[in-house]
Amino acid sequence: MDAKIDFLYLSEPDMIKAGVKDMGKCVNVMEDLLVTLNKGDYMMGGENHNSHGCMVLFPDKPKFPGMPKNGPDRRFMAMPAYLGGNHQMAGMKWYGSNIENKKKGLPRSILMMMLNDKDTGAPLALMSANLLSSYRTGGIPGVGAKYLAKKDSKVVSIIGPGVMGKTSLASFMAVCPMIDTVKIKGRGEKSINDFKVYIEREYPQVKHIIVCKSEEEAVRDSDIISFTTTVLNDISTFPVIKEEWIKKGAFISMPSAANFDSNEFVAKRAKMVVDNFGLYEAWEEEYPYPTYEKVGIVGSLFTDLIHEGMVKREDIIDISDIIIGKKTGRKNEDEIIIYSVGGMPVEDIAWGHEVYKNAKKMGIGMTLPLWEKPDML
């Protein structure tokens, strides 16, 4: 028996060559993934098999020399999963995060992804995962826009013009070809200017780029509204959105959080759609009610509203049920839809596997040895 194991290492330039930035393809892969989740052919962490992952946080006052101190986005995170369907693959995304990284010219989070053989556990690939994670995060809003945004959507507002804002816009452009106006609301001049350059370079069909001074200006008259801001575990840091600002028929995509002026609006006058309700049930178990402020993803507001008796479980729709025709998506042109995007390790496996297959076909990457034979077999 040959016990030799090697695996493919893919740097960020390798990932780009292998197609990690192909958003049209990514949206298709994410749609297939969501259908696989609907069938139940997957496993994530925890006893509920739906956990986002395992997180290491640090104390406000460390007792030991060298132990990191708590701070904004200061954590380590492991996100393991198995995905069946067209993938039949296990894997894990692992990253460290620290907002202070920006002072060093580094991304807030630095991510790596490992793909493993589902039977032996042997590593198949170790890959740079910042772009992988960013594109799969953007791909899920694209699936939402495909099924929930109005077909003639022209105006998009991006509240939070960072990396997630860019990939969300990329996915909207992939599925809504009539978009010609992008409104931007950011906190810093640099991020806003970078976003404008990104739009001009990647999407010359956009005729109007409007920099907004307030959330209200960004939200009003927009067909697609995307919240991709970085928020802290404090609802006062969430960007504000008022019902009176929202255009009839708007699609609100939320890989982040917002402070709605009225829970009554969310519960009674908007349609609530999620990427995978099991994820929010898992968060509710891990971070008991009230969950929204701790998690900062709007699907946790939905579960809080269940806890408060304002809505029932059946009022919250999984996007996969709409994809397969089990539930109705948009019922009319005036319906306002709020779509929660939580981020799941199965997404990383799906898009990572696709890029890995491309790299193998194209001869991209570096093969590294694990062993010729295991020393302690």
- DSSP states of 218-235 as a string? HHTT-SEEEE-----S-G
How far apart are alpha carbons 126 and 356 in whole angstroms?
Answer: 9
Q: Where are the beta strands (DSSP E) in 271-320?
A: 271-274, 316-318
CB atoms within 10 A of CB 160: 23
Class of domain 5-132+346-371: alpha beta
**Rounded distance, CA 168 to CA 166, Å?**
5
Q: Are 224 and 148 in contact (CB under 8 A)?
A: no
Q: What is 110-177 written as a DSSP string?
A: EEEEEEEETTT--EEEEEE-HHHHHHHHHHHHHHHHHHHS-TT--EEEEES-SHHHHHHHHHHHHH-T
Its pTM surpasses 0.95:
yes
From first to last of its 377 residues, what are the pLDDT tens digits of the chain? 789 999 999 999 999 999 999 999 999 999 999 999 999 999 999 999 999 999 999 999 999 999 999 998 899 999 999 999 999 999 999 999 999 999 999 999 999 999 999 999 999 999 999 999 999 999 999 999 999 999 999 999 999 999 999 999 999 999 999 999 999 999 999 999 999 999 999 999 999 999 999 999 999 999 999 999 988 778 888 999 999 999 999 999 999 999 999 999 999 999 999 999 999 999 999 999 999 999 999 999 999 999 999 999 999 999 999 999 999 999 999 999 999 999 999 999 999 999 999 999 999 999 999 999 999 88
CATH 3.40.50.720 for domain 138-345, yes or no, is yes
Cα(166)–Cα(158) distance, integer angstroms: 9
Nearest to 225 by CA among 338, 133, 375, 366: 338
Domain ranges of the chain: 5-132+346-371, 138-345
